[in-house]
């Protein structure tokens, strides 16, 4: 059985909740899993956002990695 990053994140969040954790952040992957976590997540989430990752080029300039925007 293989899992996708989205299903792995969803499973990890559910496990944390069962252990009593109050999940306050999910990184960039929340978009793919929030609908799988239950209707209460729509109510609980106050702000959805993420910080893109950056990489340094040959000139020493930092640019956002397009896949993380």
Residue 7 is predicted with a pLDDT of 74
Residue 13 has pLDDT above 50, yes or no: yes
Domain boundaries, given as residue ranges, for the chain: 5-68
Mean pLDDT of 8-36: 76
Element housing 42 (H / E): helix 39-44
CA quadruple 9, 12, 18, 22: dihedral sign: negative
Q: Whole-model pTM?
A: 0.44
Which pair of structure tokens corresponds to residue 10? 């969803």
Residue 19 is predicted with a pLDDT of 92
Which pair of structure tokens corresponds to residue 3? 């899992």
């Amino acid at each position: 059985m293989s899992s996708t990053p989205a299903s792995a994140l969803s499973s990890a969040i559910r496990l944390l909740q069962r252990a009593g954790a109050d999940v306050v952040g999910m990184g960039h992957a929340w978009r793919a899993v929030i609908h799988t976590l239950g209707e209460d997540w729509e109510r609980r989430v106050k702000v959805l956002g993420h910080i893109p990752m950056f990489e340094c080029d040959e000139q020493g300039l930092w640019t956002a990695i397009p896949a993380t925007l």
